[in-house]
Structure 1
Amino acid sequence: MEQFLYQFWWLIFPIGFGLLGAYNSFLGYRRQKDAINLLKAYADKGQEPPEALLKVLQRPLDEDGWDGQSPGNRQPTNYWSLFGLFAALGLGFLGASYFTNLDGGTDAFLIVAFVMGAVAVWALISALTTRRDR
């Protein structure tokens, strides 16, 4: 069992993110259920529900992101900063592959450098083709 944990310790991350996603879905379900119960209470009293309550019910369950903002309120992605980040990471891994032997001669850092370079090229293309309304 101990060797299993040493070999597959990285599985903690995908399992953890899956559990966080399930918990986020459960919270969205509870939000909708509580809003419906509150709407029923207003209907039983014969009162008009507030506009904010109706907006909660109109919002889809999967609209909330990790930050709790709706997609219409989000800022556009800054592809130039992504290009800079992945270009620097790609160059760093390329230098580590070329000048050091940290990966034991397996060229793993070289593969990571190419992947980071490909993402940097994607970010550059996205930065050049995305229109910004100012």
Structure 2
Amino acid sequence: MENLFYSFWWLIFPIGFMIAGAFNSFLGYKRQKDALNLLRAYADKGQEPPAELLKVLQRPLDDDSWTGSSSAPRQPTNYWSLFGLFAALSAGFVGAGYYTDMDRGSGAFTIVAFVMGAVAVWALISALTTRRNR
């Protein structure tokens, strides 16, 4: 059992991110439910709800901003820079796997290079097919 935790310590990070995502989703659900209950209470009394309450309900559930409104519009992703980054990473891992013996012949760097190359191809396709508003 001790060997299991020794060999798979890195699983703490993806499991932690999944738990954090689930908790964030639960908090978003609870926020929307509380806002609807408050809106229902205003409707029962026949009063007009405040504008801030309506803004909470208009906010998408997957919005990660803590304030409820974003001050700057979202910038489009620059796929050309992603292509350059992942192409360079792929070339680096190919070079490290071919010219050095860092992975002791296991082929791990080759696998990482293929994955980085696949992401670079995706970024290139996205860069070529995405329209920019100029």
Structure 1 equivalent of residue 34 of structure 2: 34
Is 1:97 the equivalent of 2:97? yes
> What's the secondary structure of 1:104's corresponding residue?
coil
Most deviating of 42-51 and 107-116: 42-51
Structure 1 equivalent of residue 43 of structure 2: 43
Structure 2 equivalent of residue 109 of structure 1: 109
How many Å apart are 1:59 and its aligned residue? 4.1
Structure 1 equivalent of residue 63 of structure 2: 64
Q: How many residues align?
A: 130
1:70-113 CA-partner distances (Å, limit 9, x unpaired): 8xx43211101110110111011011001110111112111211
> What's the secondary structure of 1:77's corresponding residue?
coil
Matched letter for residue 74 of structure 1: R
Whole-Å Cα distance in 2 between the matches of residues 40 and 128 of structure 1? 49
Percent identity between the two aligned chains: 76
1:15-44 CA-partner distances (Å, limit 9, x unpaired): 111101111111101211221232133234
Matched letter for residue 57 of structure 1: L
Show structure 1 runs of 4+ deviating over 6 A. Answer: none
Is 1:11 the equivalent of 2:11? yes
Structure 1 residues without counterparts, runs of 5 or longer? none
Whole-Å Cα distance in 2 between the matches of residues 10 and 97 of structure 1? 23
Matched letter for residue 19 of structure 1: I
RMSD over equivalenced CA pairs, Å = 2.1
Matched letter for residue 98 of structure 2: Y
Whole-Å Cα distance in 2 between the matches of residues 40 and 16 of structure 1? 36
Matched letter for residue 42 of structure 2: Y
Whole-Å Cα distance in 2 between the matches of residues 57 and 25 of structure 1? 15
TM value normalised by structure 2:
0.83
How many Å apart are 1:57 and its aligned residue? 2.3
